[in-house]
Amino acid sequence: MTPCATRSLYPAQTATVQGWPAKNRGDALDYSLYLSPFCCDQGETVRRMTVDVPDSTGLTLLWSALSPDRATIGLQGGTVGQQAITLTLEASTGRRYVRTVQITVLDDAGSVDGVRASLTPPDGAEVQPANLTLPDGRILTL
């Protein structure tokens, strides 16, 4: 699979909230964030990504993956309305970027919310490990 360019975002250099295109509840889609704005030094790369999808969004994170030029996530489901997802990117130089991205979830008839989609990560991308969550809901970090 190649990430869909129409659902890819060139992030602002400042920590402003930006948005991906809307999705229907029944959709299982890939959304990407281009990494070049985060890499300032020669040879710098983004080496790790953590994705926070709050339970209140109703969204299911199918996977998250890094390729040399973009971070891509697979999303399914969602609660109708404006939802916020936070991506934390860690660069090889130690820089860390936290970006919140909005996505609007639209209602649709015939949604297949209970069925996990078979959407696969991009070819050649490194799938990020799932987050470990503490009993109080916080994500365990090292």
Mean pLDDT for the chain? 79
Residue 96 CA to residue 76 CA, distance in Å, equals 27
Using pLDDT thresholds of 50, 70 and 90, give the confidence band for residue 113: low
pLDDT value at position 39? Answer: 75
- Report residue 7 as tokens: 């659902």
Using pLDDT thresholds of 50, 70 and 90, give the confidence band for residue 52: very high
Using pLDDT thresholds of 50, 70 and 90, give the confidence band for residue 14: low
Whether the Cβ atoms of residue 20 and residue 9 lie closer than 8 Å to each other: yes
Going along the chain, which residue ranges are E strands?
Answer: 8-9, 18-19, 23-24, 28-34, 46-52, 59-66, 70-77, 81-91, 96-106, 126-127
Residue 125 CA to residue 101 CA, distance in Å, equals 21
Q: What percent of the chain has pLDDT over 70?
A: 68
Beta bridge partners of 3: none
pTM for the complete prediction?
0.73
